[in-house]
Amino acid sequence: MRLRFTFWFLTLMTLSFHSNGSEASTPLYIGIDADFSAVAVDGGVAIKRGVELAVDEINKKGGLLGRPLNIILKDHRGNPARGIHNIEQLATNGDLIAVIGGVHTPVALAELESIHQLNLLYLVPWAAGTQVVDNQYAPNNVFRVSVRDAEAGKVLIQHAASRGIKRVALVLERTGWGRSNEASLTLAAAEMGITITTTRWINWQQKKFEEDISAIKSDKAEAIILVANAPEGAVVVNELAAQNLTALPVISHWGIASGNFIERLNVEPDLLNLSVLQTFHFDHQKHTKAQQLLEAYHSKYGLVDPKSIPAVTGIAHAYDLVNMLAKAVAKAGSHDVNALRNSLEDLGSFEGVIKTYDPAFTPTQHDALMAKDYFMASFDKKGNLVVLENQ
């Protein structure tokens, strides 16, 4: 009997040891659902790299809850149906702690129902549509470190006003993102006494914009406010060049910075009167935390001019979000979605690369960046974004 008891005791201890060891070595996962093959590849890659840099740091410190953190990549290709499919696939992983979603607002909006039905935590580093966060779901599983269109409209219109511009034409992509901006720009223009002379819409993969530019010229617009991704943005700007209108100011949302905009131009970028909304730049955020991120970037991806890093805002947004998530996991002592939601809403002060968030989120505020955090940049001769002076 004594021998039998000893045998079973040792067997149970061995099983317990293997079980605990197995759990400790089993990774937790972050899913990335972004555009890696359509119109905003630079944005998708930037999100991926921001996540990777944060995950590297977290794993060097022992991971989360004593477990390593891994990444699962999904390419939604800018297609809402593909995005929903990706969300459903990611949800089958019981060790998934969150999905990092972007680049496109239309995809994010389409995914919201599945995200909440499946009770997934959805962190947004690149999708500006106001409704992505203001989505009427309670509880709301979406947390964003990104541009918010309701705030972007104010900044774009204010930039026009600061240049003495009184009449603007809107050029908007024909999606939920474009409609979100139509609402915010119209409101901001009315508040600041700026006239919208015309609103012109551009479809994805549209190749011509000749008649629209002619109409904008006829309506005597003093500037264009552009809300489009890189391919369609280049179509608009190339048509301006074709009609000898490169001097006409183009005040752009950040979409053109998410893809190969410069490579698509038929005109030298520094000859354009073009400014672009941004939230992060290594020449704008010069503090120690940003410098450490740059050093980590160089170590992992090679030495490059900081100005030439594509879609750098996506890197910074994703990096801050993943580190916020890690702090939330530590605070909750769990990767349960409900516990993490509560932790993110009560995270307290957090030092990120974009800024010190104090706080980033609250139970009623799931957007971490507002108008005061945005600034304008332009393109230099090499096609790199540079911060405009007096920012």
Q: Which pTM was predicted?
A: 0.93
What CATH class does 150-278 carry? alpha beta
Q: Residue 11: is its pLDDT beyond 80? A: no
Most distant CA atoms of the chain, gap in Å: 100
pLDDT on residue 391: 58
Return the structure tokens found at 40.
């905003």
DSSP of 315-376: HHHHHHHHHHHHHHHHHHTS--HHHHHHHHHT---EE-SS-EESSS-BTTB-B---GGG-EE
Compute the distance between CA of residue 364 and CA of residue 367 in angstroms, rounded to an integer: 9
Residues 297-309 have a mean pLDDT of 96
Question: What does DSSP say about strands 69-75 and 28-34: parallel, antiparallel, or unpaired?
Answer: parallel
pLDDT on residue 20: 46
Q: Residue 87: is its pLDDT beyond 50? A: yes
How many percent of the chain have pLDDT more than 90? 92
Residues 300-322 have a mean pLDDT of 97
Compute the distance between CA of residue 115 and CA of residue 267 in angstroms, rounded to an integer: 42
Give me the phi and psi of 276, to 5 degrees please: -135, 135
Compute the distance between CA of residue 299 and CA of residue 294 in angstroms, rounded to an integer: 9
pLDDT on residue 253: 98
The 10s digit of each residue's pLDDT in 94-142 is 999 999 998 999 999 999 999 999 999 999 999 999 999 999 999 999 9
What CATH class does 23-147+286-370 carry? alpha beta
pLDDT on residue 71: 98
pLDDT on residue 303: 95
The 10s digit of each residue's pLDDT in 330-381 is 999 999 999 999 999 999 999 999 999 999 999 999 999 999 999 999 999 9
Cβ–Cβ < 8 Å for 87, 108: no
pLDDT on residue 24: 66
Residue type, 310: P
Give me the phi and psi of 35, to 5 degrees please: -90, 110
Q: Which residue has the higher pLDDT, 237 or 4?
A: 237
Q: Residue 325: is its pLDDT beyond 50? A: yes
Cβ–Cβ < 8 Å for 128, 148: yes
The 10s digit of each residue's pLDDT in 286-295 is 999 999 999 9
Compute the distance between CA of residue 101 and CA of residue 99 in angstroms, rounded to an integer: 6
**For residue 143, how many other CB atoms are within 10 A of its CB?**
27
The 10s digit of each residue's pLDDT in 167-197 is 999 999 999 999 999 999 999 999 999 999 9
Helices (H), the chain: 2-25, 41-60, 80-90, 105-117, 130-133, 149-162, 176-192, 210-218, 230-242, 288-301, 312-332, 337-345
Q: Which of 132, 86, 78 is nearest to 107 (CA)?
A: 78
The residue to which tokens 């219109």 are assigned:
157
Residue 45 DSSP SS3 = helix
Q: Which residue has the higher pLDDT, 103 or 212?
A: 212
Average pLDDT, the chain: 94
- Over its C-alpha atoms, the chain yields an Rg (Å, rounded) of 23
Domains 23-147+286-370 and 150-278 are alike in CATH topology:
yes
Q: Where are the domains of the chain?
A: 23-147+286-370, 150-278
User: Would you call 235 exposed, middle or buried from its count of C-beta atoms within 10 A (0-12, 13-18, 19+)?
Assistant: buried
Q: Which of 386, 362, 366, 368 is nearest to 376 (CA)?
A: 386
Q: Which H helix or E strand runs over 126?
A: strand 122-126
Residue 230 DSSP SS3 = helix
Return the structure tokens found at 119.
């009770």
Per-position b or e across 193-224, b if 16+ CB within 10 A of its CB: ebebbbebbbebebeebeebbeebeeeebbbb
Give me the phi and psi of 167, to 5 degrees please: -130, 120
Question: What does DSSP say about strands 250-252 and 223-227: parallel, antiparallel, or unpaired?
Answer: parallel
Residues 278-288 have a mean pLDDT of 97
pLDDT band (50, 70, 90) for residue 16: very low
Compute the distance between CA of residue 345 and CA of residue 360 in angstroms, rounded to an integer: 8
Cβ–Cβ < 8 Å for 108, 132: yes
Compute the distance between CA of residue 336 and CA of residue 96 in angstroms, rounded to an integer: 10
pLDDT on residue 7: 45
Compute the distance between CA of residue 268 and CA of residue 122 in angstroms, rounded to an integer: 39
pLDDT on residue 389: 78
